[in-house]
Chains A and B, each alone.
Chain A
Amino acid sequence: MKTPPMKLSETQLASPVAVTSLPAERKRIGRLPASGASTAAVLLVAVAVLTIILQPSAASSSGVGLLLGPTLPVVFASLAQMFIVLVGDFDLSVGYAIGLVNVFSATVLTTDIWLGVVVLFAMVLAYVAMGAIVELVHVPAIVITLGASFIWLGVGLTVQPTPGGISPTWLLQVTNATWPVLPEAVYILLAGAAISWWIVKRWRLGMVLRGLGNNRGALESSGWSVMRTRLSAYALAGTLVVIAGLLTTSVTTSADINANSTLTLTTFVVIIIGGCQFKGGIVEPVGVVAAAVAISLLASVLAFLNVAAAWNTAVEGIVLVAVLSMKWAVHQFGRFTRRL
């Protein structure tokens, strides 16, 4: 019996992906602290408890809204990074790209909405172009995205040399709307997690994206276009960058291209804690959202503890090293107990 070629290629592609991701997910339930997504959950609960102990009013509905609102840009920045990591690349430009969207949305978008929309759309296209160069040139994406990050910074400084600008009023109305039962930020978080989970785990495109990160050769030989797949990943990331930039504007109500310079490291820390793998193919959208909220809440915790602002820059690096050492210790402990 002859099988349609398309169908065959899909099953061929699906099998290596399914084999690598499914048992890993099952195992995760068995050894809790060692796995990625649960690290994020543990960290989130710990940070949340710490926040409530330090500031009991944070447990109220408005308190939750006030605390979660500023975490949204980090969440969407991390989701953008996640789609790049999913196909096996790194995006060093994500911080300045979001800063640039922040600048555009506090200047051009406020004065001329249609021009603003065009510019933001161009930003997504710029991301697609970045993906095209990475695929065409076959060099590590790090170099291309490092170069791009300075272009974003330069454009941002040229458009707006000093911090300033003003958020469009409609943007503030949209992001400060009152929703039933829970604060709006919670719904945005849940939507971000649910949609990206669906894209990665349930949509056909998600499967192909995982395929590219997992086994490029298999994807190519089963007839999928690697170029189109990579461009889709960069387009998704670009869209999320635009969302993150708009949310930044709504949180800060102004623009500063340099405010986000450490955001790139934050996204990498979130990616690790969220349970993704840098070699590509394996990501956990829900873990990423949880980790992003936890990491940005950590800044509030430090503020409650009256820690000097200078420490904020290092906290992520220290959390990263701490989480890795913990994982390593758990891993060694696991090996030790298995030997007994």
Chain B
Amino acid sequence: MKVPDVAVTYKWPTIDFSRLGWAFTLAAAIVLWLIACAISGHLVINLLFDNLILGSFVALVGVGQMVVIASGDGAFDLSIPYVMTLAAFVCAAVSGAQGKNLAVGILAGLGTGLVAGIFNGVLVTGPGLPPIVATLATGYIAYTVVLLMGTQLVVAPSLTRFAQQSWHGLTMVIVVAIVIWTVVALVRGQTPYGLHLHAMGQSRAAAALAAVRVKTMAISTFVISGFLAAIAGILLSGYVGGIYADMATTYLIGSVAAVVVGGTSVRGGESAIAATIFGAITVTLLTTVLELSGAGPGLQDIGEGAVIIIVVTVAAQAQTAR
């Protein structure tokens, strides 16, 4: 008799898998960059830097998404794009057109992200809503708040100056992103938090028996994701120099694609920060290549959707084969 599949399977040590993911994703990114160069006719370093900046935004929220996915139980944070937008709007509203209260505005924006994360976490752990439903609901409530805040808000010039300043191509976004990634990597690798996160991702029941505070952990993953989304949203509004209700819509599929292309299992229980960063850059480059080759917005969506399905399918096959 065929033994039925059990949802909980033993995961190989993450280091083994992430090292593989790293190389593959980096190779994919380089190939995509070369294709982009081939299409535009010459080797463009600027193009790479532009994609690194855009990719950093994706990777910032991608790392948040990764933490949520790693907690297992089919958890995803679908509120990311809406939280990004709301944080940017709150920041702009509080800091004012001239940016007199920029510091307060940024704090308020970050606070928005934290509140959204807590709201998500409470909806999931309290009434036991599936994470995707809870985060979608939070997202739409955030979106409504954005719509009600109107179209009159402008980004403070000081925030734009801050987000756009760069040292030899090293833009503020990349600096902030590197700091955040380092912090997340340290917390994940050097503290019990990372251990607990992966434990609960592999089996909630077992982790709970091993005295992991599963509910608090679940809430914390959404808080991290919301916080990172707020940082990315505020920086994005500064970098672009304007805010509008649909400014972050591409970051939903982007964040998931970054995690998936990076090779992190969507079943939870493992995470790979470097791979997620390269995944984000790969996804950004893919969009650039599609754009350069004259594909319309429709084909770009098809491309991103297909990449997720194909990569998930191939990765799962590889995992089963091992």
CB of A220 within 8 A of CB of B2, answer yes
CB of B53 to closest CB in A, whole Å: 23
| Most chain B Cβ neighbours within 10 Å, of A150, A220, A268 | A150
What interface size band does chain A fall in?
35 or more
Within 8 A of B (CB), among A283-340: 308, 310-311, 313-314, 316-318, 320-321, 324-325, 327-328
Return the CB mask of A153-164 against B: 1 if under 8 Å, else 0.
111111101000
Q: A282 vs B315: C-alpha distance in the bound complex, in angstroms?
A: 32
Q: Does A250 contact B (CB under 8 A)?
A: no
CB of B3 to closest CB in A, whole Å: 9
Q: A161 vs B299: C-alpha distance in the bound complex, in angstroms?
A: 11
CB of A317 to closest CB in B, whole Å: 4
Q: Does B28 contact A (CB under 8 A)?
A: no
Q: A318 vs B145: C-alpha distance in the bound complex, in angstroms?
A: 12
Residues of A within 8 A of B312 (CB): 137, 139, 143-144, 147
The A contact surface, by secondary structure, is helix
CB of B298 within 8 A of CB of A154, answer yes
Among the listed B129, B143, B148, B305, which residue makes an inter-chain contact with A148, where contact means beta carbons less than 8 Å apart? B305
Residues of A within 8 A of B129 (CB): 272, 278, 324
CB of A220 within 8 A of CB of B4, answer yes
CB of A149 within 8 A of CB of B305, answer yes
CB of A321 within 8 A of CB of B123, answer yes
CB of A150 within 8 A of CB of B301, answer yes
Return the CB mask of B3-40 against A: 1 if under 8 Å, else 0.
01100000000000000000000000000000000000
User: Total A-B pairs in contact (CB under 8 Å)?
Assistant: 150
CB of A151 within 8 A of CB of B141, answer no
CB of A117 to closest CB in B, whole Å: 23
A139-B316, A140-B267, A143-B260 as given contacts; A265 in contact with B136, CB under 8 Å: yes
Which of A's residues lie within 8 Å of B, judged by CB? 90, 92, 133, 136-140, 142-144, 146-151, 153-159, 161, 216-217, 220-221, 262, 264-265, 268-269, 272, 278, 308, 310-311, 313-314, 316-318, 320-321, 324-325, 327-328
Can you spell out 12 A-B residue pairs with CB atoms less than 8 angstroms apart? A138-B320, A143-B256, A143-B260, A146-B305, A154-B298, A154-B301, A154-B305, A161-B298, A314-B144, A317-B137, A317-B138, A321-B137
Which of B's residues lie within 8 Å of A, judged by CB? 1-2, 4-5, 74, 76, 78, 123, 126-127, 129-130, 132-133, 136-141, 143-145, 147-148, 253, 256, 260, 265-267, 296-309, 312-313, 316-317, 320
